[in-house]
Structure 1
Amino acid sequence: MTQATQHPLVKVPEVTLLFWIIKIAATTLGETGGDAVSMSMNLGYLVGTAIFAVIFGVAVVAQIRAKAFNPLLYWTTIIATTTVGTTLADFADRSLGIGYAGGSSLLLALLLLSLFVWHRVMGSVSVSSIHSPKAEAFYWVTIMFSQTLGTALGDWMADTAGLGYTGAAMVFGGLLVLIVAAYYWTRISRTALFWMAFILTRPLGAVVGDFLDKPLNAGGLALSRYAASGSLLVFIVTCVLLFRQKPARAAH
């Protein structure tokens, strides 16, 4: 029996504290980077979505065809999902007039449908089961829906619900704390908790990103979108290069 047969290939990282730190930074970068292209460059949401969709497609194909876990490639793909999620959600909410509530509801339904179909076809949605091209495809489609939902949900809470960026960040941060508590003190499915946390880190990143670059009179810090995006990118690359990440353990 070959080593590959004994240990199925998993090309996604082990879920650790470092994973969540980079994930939140990546989702924040998705917000500032997406806004930089669609707003600061005045390309609009549709053109921005088209640009990031191409990058997302190329990154996913490269990730699926990769022969081993590559942290830089993995996080490049995550950033691609979060930038296309930002511009796509803004296009649907603002340009198509669906609104934050309608967009969030639609995307939540698509996300739950993706998880349901994935589980029916593959038998599991656990990270440890992602060791085939089909499972990877489901994984990245699900992530793309979750990233898009996060943008709409973050904007809904900050704007429509009137919580502001700091208030919305506290709500999403508090929900993440509850998930951490559930992880340590309950027997709730670890896979369910993972996806809950994964989904919630996106709106947290969205409102933090908006807090960084929105005008002072809108409750933001009015930082340059380019500077914020560049700083976040440097932070992510530094974390990936300095701290070793292992691939998740495959389920047998």
Structure 2
Amino acid sequence: MNYQTAHPSHSRSDLQDAVSKVPAVTLGFWIVKIAATTLGETGGDWVTMSLKLGYLIGCAIFAVIFLVLVAAQVRAKHFHPVLYWATIVGTTTLGTTIADFADRTMGLGYPGGVALIATLLAVSLGTWYWSERTVSVESITTPKVEWFYWVTILFSQTLGTALGDWSADKDLGGLGLGFEYAALIFGAGLAIVAALYFWTRISRTALFWAAFVLTRPLGATLGDLLDKPASQGGLHLSRLYASAVLLIFMAICVRMIPQRPAAKGAPA
């Protein structure tokens, strides 16, 4: 599936240079994305919980990693799959720690955390749209818009984490659905988005961002299913071990699944 639309105010040569840094949005894209979001959950929890560094220090560590990776992505001249997906993982780990910091350290609880992060995502998208008159992936033709893109991705990952925790957990105002049921719900949400893509004319850009948000809570609940204690409905795997397995799986996917730049001049 390709959810991208071109920005009419930029030249075709500029557009081609820009989209070459963004992967085509295919089924393979979503497989790697879900693996990356699951890795972000286990990896973020390993640093903040298993290493006992706490959410504030975890946020600081992952914020530095995020900024370095985004700067490298913005400076790159062409699409580099490893760099792109490393940056995605950077957003998922930072998103995990930011969501946990808001929910727990700041004492907002899951409903408050979801409300705060949803507001930040809306502000990010609104500012991007106000500046460029589009939030399409194919509008990425300048470093400024690339930063809009990555900040929006960060907030979408953070919101997805908060939604996943709110749905699965029973503490902090959570709905207590459990990891398995929460994963099924978000998986069903993705199926609905896919159906809307194939059988309706709803904006492909809107569907892209909806799917991007929904893959994060799916990954978050899958990650929690792997590493949470059995008493909380998890498999109680080591967070480090689970992260290593997910990293290897993701590396294999990036290697084996065709990774090509987004198509030029894709339809709306």
Q: Do Structure 1 and Structure 2 share a fold, with TM-score over 0.5?
A: yes
Q: Deviations over 1:80-137 (max 9, x none)?
A: 0000111111111111101110110111111111111111211211112212211111
Inter-partner Cα distance in structure 1 for 2:12 and 2:168: 50
- Name 2:7's counterpart in structure 1: none
Q: 1:15-94 maps to which residues of 2 (within 5 A)?
A: 15-94=25-104
1:235 aligns with 2:249: yes
Secondary structure at the counterpart of residue 124 of structure 1? coil
Richer in helix (by share): 1
- Structure 2 unaligned runs (5+)? 1-10
Which letter maps to 2:120? L
2:131 to 102, 121, 124: 121
Residue 187 of structure 1 aligns to which amino acid in structure 2?
Answer: R
Aligned to 1:143: 153
Q: Distance in 1 between matches of 2:79 and 2:140?
A: 12
TM-score by length of 2: 0.90
Q: Give the CA deviation at 1:214.
A: 0.2
Aligned to 2:177: 163
Counterpart residue type for residue 7 of structure 1: Q
For residue 16 of structure 2, the aligned residue among 1, 7, 15 is: 7
Closer/same/farther in 2, CA of residues 250 and 120 from structure 1, 3 Å limit: farther
Contact conserved, 2:37 with 2:216, CA < 8 A, in 1?
Answer: yes
* Aligned amino acid, residue 166 of structure 1: E
User: Who is 2:120 aligned against?
Assistant: 110
Q: 1:217/1:119 Cα in 2 relative to 1: closer, same or farther (>3 Å)?
A: same
Which whole-Å CA distance do the structure 1 matches of 2:16 and 2:154 have between them?
28
Task: Spell out, residue by residue over 1:132-167, the C-alpha distance to the aligned partner (whole angstroms, 9 max, x if none).
Answer: 211111000000111111111111011111100011
Q: Write the deviation string for residues 186-236 of structure 1: whole angstroms up to 9, x where unpaired.
A: 111111001000001001111110010000011000011111100111111
Tell me the distance in 1 between the aligned counterparts of 2:162 and 2:12. Answer: 44
C-alpha RMSD of the superposition: 1.6
Deviation at 1:9, TM superposition (A): 2.5
| Counterpart AA for 2:134 | S
Percentage of identical aligned residues: 62
Gaps of 5+ in 1: none
Corresponding position of 2:196: 182
Residue 245 (structure 2) pairs with residue 245 (structure 1): no
What's the counterpart of residue 226 of structure 2? 212
Query: Structure 2: which amino acid aligns with 1:200?
Result: L
- Contact 1:128/1:249, CA 8 A, preserved across alignment: no
Q: Equivalent residue for 1:203?
A: 217
Matched pairs, number:
251
Report the CA distance between 1:3 and its aligned residue: 9.1
3-state SS, counterpart of residue 14 of structure 1 = coil
Shift of 1:174: 0.7
Shift of residue 249 of structure 1? 2.9
The alignment partner of 1:125 has SS state of coil
Q: Is the 8 A contact 2:38 2:219 kept in 1?
A: yes
